[in-house]
């Protein structure tokens, strides 16, 4: 009597593919190939994130994982950017510290690109809308406060945009003397104050009012114009000038 053929046991779990990579996807779902054919700007946010992450996890493609991350953040990159490396790597299976750092580095690089424009490339400030357009990428995604000053020439062209203070979740302290010294050093004739409210509340605080008044008094002594103080949050912006507060 012949022996029955030996039945090989299933491969142990550790021998199975650890994740679904971009190369495992069908041609139409491969973001790199799409970028080569149509340009990087043709990619969706999820496809861009998928390229950075590189692979998903067992049973979930990297595209699906990227879509999940975006969905959890209301499909807003600015909200995703407020997450820490620890939050990303602990919340999403298949996204470890290395992938989290890669994603955060890509977001930070994009932010620095926006803020590294030369003076010739920076726009002329024509009102609060142009201030918001200039600074929102830098400030609306932060989970803590930063205080920036936009230094302008006589024609309201931007000389430089500089962070003068970083604070906690609900406050920051700006050095009035430092702001005025930098204005003199740059031969600026006007400045615009800009800071963010991570809470989303756009109403100026008593501390905001006090700081604005102190900077205005100091600026008047050196014939420097304070054109506006703009508060930015993910929900929009508030302008002191638009509300006749200057």
Domains (range + CATH), the chain: 13-114 (no CATH), 128-239 (3.40.140.10)
- Phi, psi (deg, nearest 5) at residue 177: -65, -40
Answer whether 91's CB lies under 8 Å from 99's CB. Answer: no
Rounded to whole angstroms, the Cα distance separating 115 from 137 reads 9
What lies within 8 Å, CB to CB, of 85 at 6+ separation is 97, 100, 101, 104
User: Residue 147: helix, strand or coil by DSSP?
Assistant: strand
Question: Per residue in 75-111, pLDDT tens?
Answer: 888 889 888 999 999 999 989 999 999 999 998 888 7
**For 116-131, what is the mean pLDDT?**
78
pLDDT of residue 13: 40
| Nearest residue to 73 (alpha-carbon basis) of 31, 110, 52, 103 | 103
Rounded to whole angstroms, the Cα distance separating 33 from 101 reads 24
174 pLDDT higher than 70: yes
Answer whether 29's CB lies under 8 Å from 65's CB. Answer: no
**For 153-161, what is the mean pLDDT?**
91
Q: How many helices (H) and strands (E) does the chain have?
A: 9, 5
Higher pLDDT, 167 or 2: 167
8 pLDDT higher than 60: no
Question: Per residue in 51-73, pLDDT tens?
Answer: 999 888 888 889 999 999 999 99
What mean pLDDT value characterizes the chain? 84
Rounded to whole angstroms, the Cα distance separating 16 from 30 reads 22
Percentage of residues in the chain with pLDDT exceeding 70?
83
pLDDT of residue 97: 94
Percentage of residues in the chain with pLDDT exceeding 90?
52
């Amino acid at each position: 009597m012949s022996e029955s053929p030996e039945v090989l046991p299933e491969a142990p779990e550790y021998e199975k593919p650890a994740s679904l990579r971009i190369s495992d996807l069908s041609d139409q779902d491969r973001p790199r190939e799409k970028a080569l054919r149509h340009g990087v700007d043709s990619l969706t946010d999820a496809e861009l994130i998928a390229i950075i992450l590189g692979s998903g996890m067992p049973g979930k493609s990297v595209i699906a994982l990227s879509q999940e991350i975006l969905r959890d953040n209301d499909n807003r990159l600015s909200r995703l950017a407020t997450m820490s490396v620890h939050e990303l790597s602990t919340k999403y299976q298949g996204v470890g510290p290395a992938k989290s750092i890669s994603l955060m580095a890509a977001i930070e690089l994009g932010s620095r690109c926006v803020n590294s424009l030369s003076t010739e490339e920076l726009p002329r400030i024509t009102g609060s809308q142009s201030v918001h357009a200039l600074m929102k990428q830098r400030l609306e995604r932060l989970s803590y406060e930063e205080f920036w000053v936009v230094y302008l020439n006589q024609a309201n062209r931007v000389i430089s945009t500089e962070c003068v203070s970083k604070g906690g979740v609900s406050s920051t302290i700006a050095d009035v003397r430092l702001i005025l010294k930098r204005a003199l050093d740059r031969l600026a004739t006007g400045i615009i104050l800009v800071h963010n409210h991570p809470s989303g509340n756009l109403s100026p605080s008593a501390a905001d009012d006090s700081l604005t008044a102190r900077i205005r008094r100091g600026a008047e002594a050196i014939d420097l114009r304070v054109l506006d103080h703009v508060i930015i949050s993910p929900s929009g912006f508030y302008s002191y000038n638009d509300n006749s507060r200057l």
